[in-house]
Structure 1
């Protein structure tokens, strides 16, 4: 069976919800050490692909070409949630590169962060493409096209040289043939890829431990994008989201994506984790990830505590009354 129960949610003593999914934990050889459900389940990376999609730009040192700050560079790998500091950094980045907002292929929207969204509504501001959580990634891609002399208007098309290079780079890091990678179109309009869940974990291990990457230029690029992700964790999501909470730990590289996919690399332990929640829930990520880290004997308790602070296992109603709990219920496959 591809998916097994990962988290159960109780209201009182009655089981109210079950979140199914799969988990894979791999070592530095790519071997699956622990799994729940099918560790090879074919999974779209969605926004978990962003650090890898940024590698072609990082290989050409686009940040240095345009004089970008570390904060601005981190946006290449971000699913920013539209807080004011994200928008300030994006506008600065786009000025330096010389990008007009309508050049971004992602659609106009409002910020994902509820407070930021409410602020824009209160100010009677219209939707903008720069508010889209993928606008930093798109800006980085256009910057690379400008530098390479590639067509900027079609950068999002699967046959574009940039998208072909991204696909080839991911295939090399994941150690799977390009021909075996199904493609789709992501929410922001860019090509997106599916690889087995254990290969997602292995790719994140290489992001955390780039000495495992065969190509020296790609290894250096991976080290540089991972470094800015850790240095500016709140840029990658926002001040109250899983990615930023994990990236505050310098031992981890981490990125989640839509529909419940997540990848984490552990530097000192040279292990990596990937997971897929089959119903797409992001709310149960903290419970699952904290449980995995606990089972692995992870030494940084502050990281685990941050996850439980984001989404406690205790369930409260709108008035603050304790009404239930969520429990991680998965066991490792025999």
Structure 2
């Protein structure tokens, strides 16, 4: 039931197609917009991070350790280990007493090309905090330290924090906990899989926390999503889609590996989740821009930022126009 989302033309020849699914839900959680199959089940990957940060917010980790907002934002980040990210991560460790060797994520070089080149030029080595998921791990470890939980197995599915994440996920997504598929993410954490409709519902509630009945969860979501908007540069990296969307204070957004992207709109009270089935992320800005245009989104500057990240024109290394990208899907109203 998948549909073509984006076509890439080089000259007059169709060179590539990217197929997938899109689901948009209204404030009732009912499907309002659809492309393909709204019940397609996908792993959230890093789009789960804002939800995985909720237990730390509920238990006052930020207040207990006197964390500044950019440091709190790192708990929901897929950072590129740019200097501002590394400074925040090192500050979190200094304030919480969490040691870098406690992180289960593997040492790596920064995902930011410029940060990686700078590091190597000065003889730097791979580190665990350079892993794009390290902020999430530090947040959970800080929560474990505060609550007296074991830190050695913090990444196990059965760990109390991971079980609390699963409970909150089920609540926000309006799905029985036993219907959530659990696997293992690239960083070693448990990763959940949901139908796109339920994932869109979760992001609707991140954008519109008044829909959350649980008062503690609601307050934590309000705090976490506000931090993400005010500190949008911390959430991924320069020139990427998450900062471009989160700069708009009407949007809560986060992507994950292998083509999954989610966002919620506060004023419109809508949640969206999409999956590019070949796992590509490059097309996200074009797809999200088209979604926003098709629903008549009024903040044109946000759409313009998205097009600047992934222009319709395809240029080669000599800056010559050699082709074009086109979204070919049409949101179907339900």
- In the other structure, the counterpart of 1:186 is 185
> Conserved in 2, the CA contact under 8 Å of 1:37 and 1:333?
no
Measured against aligned partners, the alpha-carbon deviations of 1:228-259 in whole angstroms (never above 9, x if no partner) come to 00000010011211001100000000000000
- In the other structure, the counterpart of 2:97 is 98
- In the other structure, the counterpart of 2:31 is 32
- In the other structure, the counterpart of 1:171 is 170
Alpha-carbon distance in 2 for matches of 1:250, 1:5: 30
- In the other structure, the counterpart of 1:310 is 309
Alpha-carbon distance in 2 for matches of 1:204, 1:45: 12
- In the other structure, the counterpart of 1:208 is 207
Q: RMSD in angstroms over aligned alpha carbons?
A: 0.8
What's the TM-score once normalised by structure 1's chain length? 0.99
Describe the SS at the equivalent of 1:198.
helix
Alpha-carbon distance in 2 for matches of 1:272, 1:162: 26
Q: Which runs of 5+ in 2 are unaligned?
A: none
Alpha-carbon distance in 2 for matches of 1:113, 1:314: 24
Alpha-carbon distance in 1 for matches of 2:330, 2:163: 39
- In the other structure, the counterpart of 1:16 is 15
What does 1:238-277 correspond to in 2, within 5 Å? 238-277=237-276
Alpha-carbon distance in 2 for matches of 1:181, 1:63: 29
> Conserved in 1, the CA contact under 8 Å of 2:46 and 2:254?
yes
Measured against aligned partners, the alpha-carbon deviations of 1:186-238 in whole angstroms (never above 9, x if no partner) come to 01000000011011111011001101011000000000000000000010011
Alpha-carbon distance in 2 for matches of 1:125, 1:180: 44
Q: CA deviation at 1:333?
A: 4.2
Describe the SS at the equivalent of 1:302.
helix
Alpha-carbon distance in 1 for matches of 2:182, 2:276: 20
Q: CA deviation at 1:121?
A: 1.4
Describe the SS at the equivalent of 1:237.
coil
- In the other structure, the counterpart of 1:62 is 61
- In the other structure, the counterpart of 1:331 is 330
Measured against aligned partners, the alpha-carbon deviations of 1:250-294 in whole angstroms (never above 9, x if no partner) come to 000000000010110000010111100001111000110000000
What's the TM-score once normalised by structure 2's chain length? 0.99
What does 1:73-88 correspond to in 2, within 5 Å? 73-88=72-87
Alpha-carbon distance in 2 for matches of 1:130, 1:83: 11
Describe the SS at the equivalent of 1:259.
coil
Alpha-carbon distance in 2 for matches of 1:294, 1:198: 21
Match status 1:233 vs 2:232:
yes
What does 1:129-148 correspond to in 2, within 5 Å? 129-148=128-147
Alpha-carbon distance in 2 for matches of 1:94, 1:135: 11
Alpha-carbon distance in 2 for matches of 1:32, 1:117: 43
Aligned residues: 333
> Conserved in 1, the CA contact under 8 Å of 2:241 and 2:285?
yes
Match status 1:107 vs 2:98:
no
Alpha-carbon distance in 2 for matches of 1:17, 1:281: 12
Alpha-carbon distance in 2 for matches of 1:310, 1:123: 30
> Conserved in 2, the CA contact under 8 Å of 1:34 and 1:333?
yes
Alpha-carbon distance in 1 for matches of 2:50, 2:318: 40
- In the other structure, the counterpart of 1:299 is 298
- In the other structure, the counterpart of 1:222 is 221
Alpha-carbon distance in 2 for matches of 1:297, 1:267: 14
Alpha-carbon distance in 2 for matches of 1:333, 1:311: 24
Alpha-carbon distance in 2 for matches of 1:312, 1:81: 22
Alpha-carbon distance in 1 for matches of 2:210, 2:33: 23
